[in-house]
Amino acid sequence: MTTRKNGLYQDLKRQILTLEVDPDQVLDEAALGEQYGLSRTPVRETLRRLAGEGFLKVRENQGTRVIPMNDRTLRNFFQVAPMIYEAICRLAVQNHKPSQLQDLKCTQERFRRASVNGESLAMVLENNRFHEIMGEMAGSTYLEPSLGRLLIDHARIGHTFFRPHNEETQKRLELSVTHHDGFIEAISDHDERRAVDLMKAHWELSRADMQRFIAPDGLHAQNLTGDSYL
């Protein structure tokens, strides 16, 4: 049962981060139990765990929903994210442990391999894990939960970043990989200034792509009909 329960946990987490399940979608406990061969109690325990990590909202008599993503959450995200990321970065340089640095390197290699192979879903998950580890390095009971919540929306808003459409977006993806390498070097060298400068550049790279996802270029009439009316 433990394996099935962990499978449910990992699958739901992945599906939320990659938008395989929509924001604010209601989850069917009975259907999940049948799918994973679990009784109601372990299903509810898993859902409560994910709710505690910021992925879900569990309300008595109202069911369990995926955490929403609306104009208010997006505004808060863009206001708060750079402050949280910078603070996490500073503390990661100061407080990291050798074992965490090794985990970061291993995650980066998986991220690099996924980027080379064009595995967009793997890139989303490994990028998310990379920044989770930086939060663990920071070791702040106040900031780490905030980082976790930010990373959920960062993955959901920015998932198209990992699906390069042309040469320009491919170069931006390669730059993201390079930034990760730079974080590892700066943390290893205890170089807080370099790490923070990299984080600012990394955030700007992500922010620009997320804004393109939220407000894409409009379609022109000729794209739809072959004729131009505008």
pLDDT score at 2 = 77
Domain boundary among 66, 98, 118: 66
50 and 82 co-located in one domain: no
Query: 58: which strand partners?
Result: 64
Query: Domain of 103?
Result: 71-214
- The pTM of the full predicted model, rounded to 2 decimals, is 0.85
Residues 73 and 153: beta-carbon distance below 8 Å:
yes
At 96-125, the pLDDT tens digits run 999 999 999 999 999 999 999 988 889 999
Q: Per the domain annotation, does 230 fall within a domain?
A: no
Q: Return the H-helix or E-strand segment holding 136.
A: helix 120-138
Q: Domain for residue 227, yes or no?
A: no
The pLDDT confidence band at residue 62, using thresholds 50, 70 and 90, is: confident
Relative orientation angle of helices 2-17 and 143-157, to the nearest 10 degrees: 60
Q: Is residue 229 part of a domain?
A: no
Please say if the pLDDT value at position 50 is more than 80: yes
Is residue 130 assigned to a domain? yes
Within 8 A by CB and 6+ apart from 169, the residues are: 161, 209
Do 105 and 205 lie in a common domain?
yes
Which two structure tokens, joined as six digits, stand for 227? 């004729």
Q: Cα separation of 112 and 89, whole Å? A: 21
Which residue type sits at 104? L
Residues 108 and 192 occupy one common structural domain: yes
- Kindly indicate the confidence band of residue 224, based on its pLDDT and cuts at 50, 70 and 90: very low
Report residue 57's pLDDT band, with 50, 70 and 90 as the boundaries.
Answer: very high
Determine the Cα–Cα distance for residues 22 and 26; give it in Å rounded to an integer. 9
Looking at the structure, tell me whether residues 48 and 130 fall in a common domain.
Answer: no
38: in domain: yes
Residue 220 lies in a domain: no
- 89 and 58 in a single domain? The answer is no
Assess contact for 138 and 144: CB atoms under 8 A.
yes
Q: Residues 95, 182: one domain?
A: yes
- Here the CATH number for the domain that contains residue 144 is 1.20.120.530
